Structure 1
Amino acid sequence: MQSLSIFHASEDGLRPASDDQGPASAALLRMKALHEMELRSILKSMEENAVRRKTQGNMAMEKGEFRQAVKEYSCALQHAGDMMDFLELEKSPALNGYQLRALAKGMPLPQRGPKALQPFRAVAFASRALAFLRLDAYEQCLEDATAACDLEPKYLKAWIRRACALAALNRRADAEDALNEALEKACHSDLLREQVCKLLVNLHNLVNVVVKPPEKDLPVIYKDSERPKKTKTWREVVTVPVAGCDGASVQVPRHELRKFLQEDWKPTLSGAAIWAQSHQELFLVLRLPRRPKVSELRIEISPRHLLGFLRKPGMTSVTEDDFDLLINAELLVAVKPSECSWQLEQVADATDLHVTLHKEVAQMVLEGFK
């Protein structure tokens, strides 16, 4: 898992967050530790479940319980799919100097994220293909073996099982093509090449086979597009305090918590709100004194200026005297008013105004507001 660095915005600039920087910094540090522990726990549980079901599938194959093996390998692939979904939430860090030099020399880098699961998924697909082959379900065997070959082209067993399924379907020309492709991609020793060549000779001498119908009551295998999506527990909403701004907090979806903690949220120079920025946008969160109706807010966005007003309680007219000023901020980077937006977010007993400002020219600046 990636490591997070939390910084505290103070008058002297950014400093690493610590207990000495105030309760908000200490709360962020505790949240960081708990969040990373939770991520490791979730990922470890998924990995253990995937390996356990694959092992149980191997045991079922040894006992000749091929239907049960298909079910176990399917569960292993499902857990691996959950891991891929989970790892997609992790953003790859920028390559360091050692990695860039390794790439320049043509050296492969260790895979991370969803790609790191390709070898496991290839073995699980190839194992399930063998179970289908034992059940005379040649079409299903061919589909799984092809998936294993696509994931790991150097996995010879997957090519052989693909060729077996094609031969069993009397598609000998396609089976020969599969073995020839295996010679190019998966045979890295003379012994392996010799074994594949023997299979090619046997395939040439093979007469038409009687294709058996698949055994009845095959386990139902759902494709990724057909499998019902589970509700992910890590997509909850978390309240996060903002270091350097006493009492300020924002609501963050749990799956975006890592991204939020890596961002540099700062109070505006006027102290009325907190803000952060990405390469293309400025984000502003303003705590409102009460929960208003949308019609009671007046937000004016120009290329270099942001104005926010809230109608006074009991007032119904639209004159300036009937509104309280919420924010009056000059922007140090031009924005596109037509592409900017704002919305109200309820946070416990309070209400926040979220403003998204789209930059005219994508760039990073030291300060976004005057």
Structure 2
Amino acid sequence: MYNTKAYSAASATSPLIFASTPRRDPTRQALSRRDFLANTALIAAALAVGPSCTSSDQRKKINNQSDKGLRVGENKMNTRKLGKLEVSEMGSGCMSISANYGPPADRNQGIQVIRTAHERGVTFFDTAEVYGPFTNEELVGEALAPFRDKVVIASKFGFDIEADGLNSRPEHIKKVVEESLKRLKTDRIDLYYQHRVDPKVPIEEVAGAIKELIQEGKVLHFGLSEPSAKTIRRAHVVQPVTAIQTEYSFMNRDPEQNGVLKACEELGIGFVSWGPVGMGYLTGKIDARTKFDPKTDLRSGFDRFSPENLAANRPVIDLLKQFAEKKNATPAQITLAWLLAQKPWIVPIPGTRNMDHLNDNLGTINIQLTPADLRKLETDFSKIKVHGGRMNEIQMQYVDQT
């Protein structure tokens, strides 16, 4: 699991910001408090990264799109069900606006991106207390306040930011939910995830605490982030789980192999994919020459983002580009369309602080992959070896694999 010392208040939007030198403890390699907060942010959702545009330019580019973007009058955003919770077929991961993929974005810019996403049909917005920490919830709350009743807000608990560690004890959950409600400017959290499974607290106690919050109306639905299939089943007995969030993309297939997708299908639980464009890699805009600032970007410490592995994984990008050319799309749109085609209860949450990237992500709803396309993608991908782990060894210690 994640040690709070692994999550740093690095940036205002995404979970991948600060990776400092870890120190040792008798039981495991721990992370500094700065790393703790940064890594915590990473746990939720990732987005396509890129340069920011000015507000006026962003508006122009949203309304004057290329053939690869989302144009006014094109396909309408559909909805999907996460359990009994109805959301837009594509959500918005808000983390990166505030942290972990670089310095925080300008606040007004972040609000504009979130509100534009809603204008384009997005109703599902994802944040967490550790993103910032705290600042991303505040940003999301302010941005969504004018139309709060028309959107679904997901947030997360599970870290004790002051004590630098995991904490899913019921009394702590009931404390931090009040703080998140204030930051989000709302009287309920639509979907409340345990951010990381706490090995010191039985999942049944966690589910019981959320059940009480649901009875009080402060939380509407229960979620788990990065749990094992076994943990999902145990929690679901006490309080029905609405959604599971974990990293899943064309490049990272762990949920297909560890039983998590199978458990979701059997139990009627929705699946929310964070990192749906490979933490930006599957956009095709990152290569071996790309530099990641270790002070502001968590990816700088990930094996998959080393110059060697960025180069070695290029065949994945080449494959996506081949399909993108056929579909008059972008690599990011192909990987998002691939996710949407896997199951009708999977919802990707790409994130961005950039209007061009927002437009690119939302343009996915105009892309249709045929059964033949999907078979070809799978056949070609099966011949490619993916190099490097999805997170570093320390962060993977906080992923529930029991």
Shorter-chain TM-score category?
A: under 0.3
Larger Rg over CA atoms:
1
Q: TM-score, normalised by structure 2?
A: 0.22
Instruction: Report 1 or 2 for greater relative contact order, CA contacts < 8 Å, sequence distance ≥ 6.
Output: 2
Task: Please identify which structure carries the higher strand content.
Answer: 1
TM-score (norm. length: structure 1): 0.23
